[in-house]
Structure 1
Amino acid sequence: MGAAGWWALGRPGLGARSPPGWLGLAALGLAAVALAAVAWRGARPWRRRRLRQVGTVAQLWLYPIKSCKGVRVSAAECTALGLRSGPLRDRFWLVVKEDGHMVTARQEPRLVLVSIAEEDDRLILSAPGMDQLSLPSKLPSSNMLQDCRLFGLDIKGRDCGDEAARWFTTFLKTEAFRLVQFETNMKGRPSREILPPFVQNYQVAYPDCSPVMILSEASLADLNTRLEKKVKMEHFRPNIVVSGCDAFEEDTWDELLIGGVEMKKVLSCPRCIMTTVDPDTGVIGRNEPLETLKSYRLCDPSEKQIYKSSPLFGIYYSVEKIGSLRVGDPIYQML
């Protein structure tokens, strides 16, 4: 997740240099690729392209409230605004100050201790030392609209009410906070105001800059070989976790087909101090794993005007064709 300093970026689709290398497809895998290619080409005959399996969906994650705990699911709808599972939608809720400015775990690291569950079309929030908070997944239209501010851009949110405001204020204990919800009829933040004007045109609600972020298990394993204290996937908050590929192989993928969903690479994910927040304790360390990532995951010098000094870990994607995803789905690169 990038800090505010890198939002004015250069050309998309660039990542850190890593050794090339594709995993060979086993005989059974070849059959699966062939069947998927036939079905896909039949549905999209005007875009006949080769498919090559590059991995498998190992995990799917939604983060309903920005900076709070993720919800792991076995299947999800992938919309233009990100993953959805029932009433839970990825980063459709946001904690704000009373003036509408966003609050994340960069400023309030204990937000990562707030967990979210869904029950009877309601959100159930839990946190250490707090009674559970139950919120409707759809707010009444009588709730006020709040003007919010994310990374210098304006966006709306519907206020979740005084009970939610008191709950977050009591838990965080630093100042007054409110919780707002994005609605699909609201205008998202345009990608071309967040990123360079020549990236693909899409909108985002409360994510940093794209509706989907992908990271591989192998990349995390590579990082952990270099760390004294191992880190979890939860430090990096991806939506789709990939198995069956080499470390940082995801840097080389452009357009992907997963289930019925087509995605296009936006850019590599520049990492910030958010990665140093321990997801189990809510304590911000400010050093690791960020410093280790900087030791070997900085961009090529020719790309420094884009990523500056942020290390790269994971890839941002836009959604080009909506559809369904499941854990176990093969991931194909469209060539």
Structure 2
Amino acid sequence: MALNSASVLLPVLLLFGLSGALIYAISRKKRDYKEVAKVIKLIIYPIKSLPGIEVNEVTITKSGLKSGPVRDRMWILITKENRFITQRIEPSLALLRQSIHQNEIWIDGPDMPTLKLKIETQRQSQDIILQTKVWNQAIDGLYCGKEAEEWFSKYLNKPNTKLIQHIPECGLRNSSLERNDKVIQSNKYPITYHDGSPVLVINQNSITNLNNKLSNECQVSYRNFRPNILITDCEPHEEDNWKYMKIKDIEFVGLKPCDRCVLTTINPDTGIKMDSEPINTLKTYRLANEKVRKYYGTSPLFGMNFAPEKEGHIYCDDIIEAVVNQNN
């Protein structure tokens, strides 16, 4: 009996499909997870470089955290020359507050009326798209209008300060990751206006350890380091060695340590720079090793950048499991 092509092809495709699924399952089984820590805070930063919003649960997406309709680093401020703005050059941004109200984001500041912004989901024909660069990677954004421009221009006393919002058609940027003693960029882990990764993890015990080395006048909190996920129940800097992290059924891959800058020296309560601490103290014990020093320079490392391998929901008090990198 002659066999038609379909009757031959179908079993072959099924065989390849089952083989692929088996290989995937085996690779996952090789990840030897163990319980290592616990989530104590979840924080999103809708407008880049403004104080975060603490929430009890978040949706994990490929490009980071999401709470309701609001994504982490969904908006960014830019100058009249379209250069992006952060607390590094405008520390008074630390005094603003942002909150989520259904399909709006509200911004409040000292002696300023509440700015209420509608969350846009797609571009309309009359909308304006502007382009900026975040760490030399170009990315577009939807201009949020004259009211927002006038509000931020007045607050910062900088005319033509514009706010732009990321929508899906604005494209994505590459994450940074450290592999084989090199720091490279990869489009495998997409981001929007983040500095370099979808998720930043900070260890509360690392902060406690740092504060033990600082004077009383220079004490810091997790707010100086702007994590998405704050963890506890582990040793200081233990997350440095997590090759993979798992919360519930969501697995995250470790990308690289977070190199810290002057933004950590800004007092989140006053918006005033605290001279050179905690940077100077961190430099005494948290510089990169010699193999990768050329990529990090004299910037100390504090916290770990991760990227999710799937989407889902996580909550405060969730247990964290990890695969520890034995090479570190």
TM, length-normalised to structure 1: 0.83
- Residue 101 of structure 1 aligns with which residue? 83
- Residue 52 of structure 1 aligns with which residue? 34
Q: Structure 1 runs of 4+ off > 6 angstroms? A: 192-195
Alpha-carbon shift at residue 196 of structure 1 (Å): 4.0
Rate the CA distance shift 1:130–1:288 in 2: closer, same or farther, 3 A: same
Decide whether the 8 Å contact of 2:174 with 2:196 is kept in 1: no
- Residue 190 of structure 1 aligns with which residue? 174
TM, length-normalised to structure 2: 0.85
Q: What secondary structure sits across from 1:168 in the alignment?
A: helix
Measured in 1, the distance between the counterparts of 2:91 and 2:223 equals 14
Alpha-carbon shift at residue 168 of structure 1 (Å): 0.3
Alpha-carbon shift at residue 298 of structure 1 (Å): 1.0
- Residue 272 of structure 2 aligns with which residue? 283
% identical equivalent positions = 33
Alpha-carbon shift at residue 199 of structure 1 (Å): 5.2
- Residue 173 of structure 1 aligns with which residue? 157
Matching residue's letter, 1:319: P
Q: More strand per residue: 1 or 2?
A: 2
Superposed, which structure 2 residues align to 1:232-271 within 5 Å?
A: 232-271=221-260
- Residue 214 of structure 2 aligns with which residue? 227
Unaligned runs of 5+ residues in structure 2 are 1-21
- Residue 19 of structure 2 aligns with which residue? none
- Residue 210 of structure 1 aligns with which residue? 197
Larger RCO: 1 or 2 (CA < 8 Å, sep 6+): 1
- Residue 309 of structure 1 aligns with which residue? 298
Measured in 2, the distance between the counterparts of 1:210 and 1:182 equals 16
Alpha-carbon shift at residue 108 of structure 1 (Å): 0.6
1:333 matched to 2:305? The reply is: no
Measured in 2, the distance between the counterparts of 1:334 and 1:285 equals 37
Alpha-carbon shift at residue 277 of structure 1 (Å): 1.0
Q: What secondary structure sits across from 1:283 in the alignment?
A: coil
Matching residue's letter, 2:135: F
Measured in 1, the distance between the counterparts of 2:49 and 2:117 equals 18
Measured in 1, the distance between the counterparts of 2:140 and 2:96 equals 23
Larger Rg: 2
Alpha-carbon shift at residue 285 of structure 1 (Å): 3.0
Alpha-carbon shift at residue 244 of structure 1 (Å): 0.5
Aligned residues: 293
Measured in 2, the distance between the counterparts of 1:198 and 1:275 equals 24
Alpha-carbon shift at residue 193 of structure 1 (Å): 10
Rate the CA distance shift 1:185–1:334 in 2: closer, same or farther, 3 A: farther
Decide whether the 8 Å contact of 1:260 with 1:322 is kept in 2: no
Q: 2:282 aligns with which of 293, 303, 306?
A: 293
Measured in 2, the distance between the counterparts of 1:293 and 1:196 equals 21
Measured in 1, the distance between the counterparts of 2:176 and 2:102 equals 38
